[in-house]
Structure 1
Amino acid sequence: MFKRISLGSRLALLFAACTAVVSLTAGVLFNRASETHFMELDQQLLDSKLPTLRDALMGVSSADQLNEHKQALQGELAHSPDLALQVRGADGALWFDSLAPSMKQTRMREGLHTLTENGISYRSYTAALRPEQADSPQLTLLLDITHHQHFLERMQHLIWLTVGLSALATALLGAWAARSGLRPLREMSEIAASVSASSLTTRLPQTEMPAELADLGQAFNAMLARLDDAFQRLSAFSADIAHELRTPLSNLLTHTQVTLTRPRDLEEYREALLGNLEELQWMAQMVNDMLFLAKAEHGLLSPNRERLRLGDEVDALLEFFLPLADETQVRLIRDGEATLEGDRHMLRRAVSNLLDNALRFTPAEGEVSVRLETTAQQVRISIENKGQTIPAEALPRLFDRFYRADPARHEGSSEHAGLGLAITQSIIKAHGGTIRCESREGVTRFLIELPISS
Structure 2
Amino acid sequence: MMRRLSLAGRLAMLFAACTATVSLVAGVLFNRASESHFIELDQQLLDGRLAELRNTLGQVDNPADFQSLRDRLQGEINLRPDQALRIHGADGQPWFDSAPHLPMTLPTQPGLLSLLDGASAYRLFNAPLTPGQAGSPELTLILDITHHQHFLQRMQQLIWLTVGLSALATALLGAWAARSGLRPLRRMSEVASSVSANSLTPRLDIDRMPAELAELGQALNAMLGRLEDSFQRLSAFSADIAHELRTPLSNLLTHTQVTLTRPRPLEDYREALHSNLEELQWMAQLVNDMLYLAKADHGLLSPSFEQLELADEADVLLEFFAPLAEDNQVRLARSGTASILGDRSMLRRALSNLLDNALRFTPAGGEIQLSLEATATGSRISVQNSGAGIAAALLPRLFDRFYRADPARHEGSSEHAGLGLAITQSIVRAHGGQIRCESEEGWTRFVIELPRQA
| TM-score bucket (shorter structure) | over 0.9
Give the CA deviation at 1:325.
Answer: 1.5
Q: Which has the higher mean CA deviation after the structures are superposed, 374-383 or 128-137?
A: 128-137
Q: Give the conservation status (yes or no) of the 8 Å contact 1:362–1:387.
A: yes
2:33 paired residue number = 33
| CA pair 153-106 structure 1, distance change in 2 beyond 3 A | closer
Counterparts of 1:255-404 in structure 2 under 5 Å? 255-404=255-404
1:57 paired residue number = 57
1:208 paired residue number = 208
Q: 1 CA distance for matches of 2:105 and 2:170?
A: 49
Q: Which has the higher mean CA deviation after the structures are superposed, 246-255 or 304-313?
A: 304-313
Letter in 2 for 1:14: L
1:73 paired residue number = 73
| CA pair 349-118 structure 1, distance change in 2 beyond 3 A | same
Q: Which has the higher mean CA deviation after the structures are superposed, 82-91 or 6-15?
A: 82-91
| CA pair 355-62 structure 1, distance change in 2 beyond 3 A | farther
The answer to whether residue 171 in structure 2 is matched with residue 171 in structure 1 is yes
1:162 paired residue number = 162
- Displaced runs of 4+ in structure 1, greater than 6 A? none
Q: Which has the higher mean CA deviation after the structures are superposed, 253-262 or 58-67?
A: 58-67
Q: 2 CA distance for matches of 1:453 and 1:70?
A: 113
Q: Which has the higher mean CA deviation after the structures are superposed, 242-251 or 63-72?
A: 63-72
Q: 2 CA distance for matches of 1:31 and 1:209?
A: 45
Letter in 1 for 2:386: K
1:449 paired residue number = 449
Report SS of the residue matched to 1:396.
helix
2:152 paired residue number = 152
1:122 paired residue number = 122
Q: 1 CA distance for matches of 2:351 and 2:94?
A: 117
Letter in 2 for 1:182: L
- Structure 1 residue runs without a partner (length 5+): none
| CA pair 105-329 structure 1, distance change in 2 beyond 3 A | farther
Q: 1 CA distance for matches of 2:52 and 2:190?
A: 83
TM-score normalised by structure 1 residue count: 0.95
Give the CA deviation at 1:65.
Answer: 4.0
| CA pair 144-310 structure 1, distance change in 2 beyond 3 A | same
Give the CA deviation at 1:278.
Answer: 0.7
The answer to whether residue 212 in structure 2 is matched with residue 217 in structure 1 is no
TM-score normalised by structure 2 residue count: 0.95
| CA pair 169-102 structure 1, distance change in 2 beyond 3 A | closer
Q: Give the conservation status (yes or no) of the 8 Å contact 1:203–1:224.
A: yes
Give the CA deviation at 1:206.
Answer: 2.4
Q: Please list the CA deviations of residues 118-148 of structure 1 after superposition, one character each: whole Å capped at 9, or x if unmatched.
A: 4421122233322343664432222111111
Q: 1 CA distance for matches of 2:401 and 2:255?
A: 28
Letter in 1 for 2:362: T
Q: Please list the CA deviations of residues 353-381 of structure 1 after superposition, one character each: whole Å capped at 9, or x if unmatched.
A: 11111111112232211111112212111
Q: Give the conservation status (yes or no) of the 8 Å contact 1:92–1:107.
A: no
Report SS of the residue matched to 1:250.
helix
Q: 2 CA distance for matches of 1:172 and 1:107?
A: 52
| CA pair 148-107 structure 1, distance change in 2 beyond 3 A | closer
Q: 2 CA distance for matches of 1:91 and 1:369?
A: 128
Give the CA deviation at 1:16.
Answer: 1.4
Letter in 2 for 1:125: F
Superposition CA RMSD, Å: 2.0
Report SS of the residue matched to 1:69.
helix
1:82 paired residue number = 82
Q: 1 CA distance for matches of 2:134 and 2:249?
A: 126
Give the CA deviation at 1:159.
Answer: 1.3
Q: Give the conservation status (yes or no) of the 8 Å contact 2:15–2:171.
A: yes
Q: 2 CA distance for matches of 1:64 and 1:287?
A: 131
2:436 paired residue number = 436
Letter in 1 for 2:146: T
Q: 1 CA distance for matches of 2:69 and 2:371?
A: 126
Letter in 2 for 1:203: R
Q: Please list the CA deviations of residues 164-193 of structure 1 after superposition, one character each: whole Å capped at 9, or x if unmatched.
A: 122112212222222223223222222221
Aligned length: 454
Q: Please list the CA deviations of residues 288-340 of structure 1 after superposition, one character each: whole Å capped at 9, or x if unmatched.
A: 11111111112222222222111111111112212212212322222111112
Q: Give the conservation status (yes or no) of the 8 Å contact 1:92–1:106.
A: no
Give the CA deviation at 1:441.
Answer: 2.7
Q: Which has the higher mean CA deviation after the structures are superposed, 294-303 or 441-450?
A: 294-303
Q: 1 CA distance for matches of 2:377 and 2:105?
A: 94
Q: Give the conservation status (yes or no) of the 8 Å contact 2:428–2:450.
A: yes
Letter in 1 for 2:343: D
- Structure 2 residue runs without a partner (length 5+): none
Letter in 1 for 2:21: V
Q: 2 CA distance for matches of 1:418 and 1:90?
A: 121
| CA pair 52-441 structure 1, distance change in 2 beyond 3 A | same
Q: 2 CA distance for matches of 1:314 and 1:3?
A: 68
| CA pair 102-164 structure 1, distance change in 2 beyond 3 A | closer
Q: Give the conservation status (yes or no) of the 8 Å contact 2:12–2:171.
A: yes
Q: 1 CA distance for matches of 2:135 and 2:317?
A: 122
Q: 1 CA distance for matches of 2:150 and 2:121?
A: 10
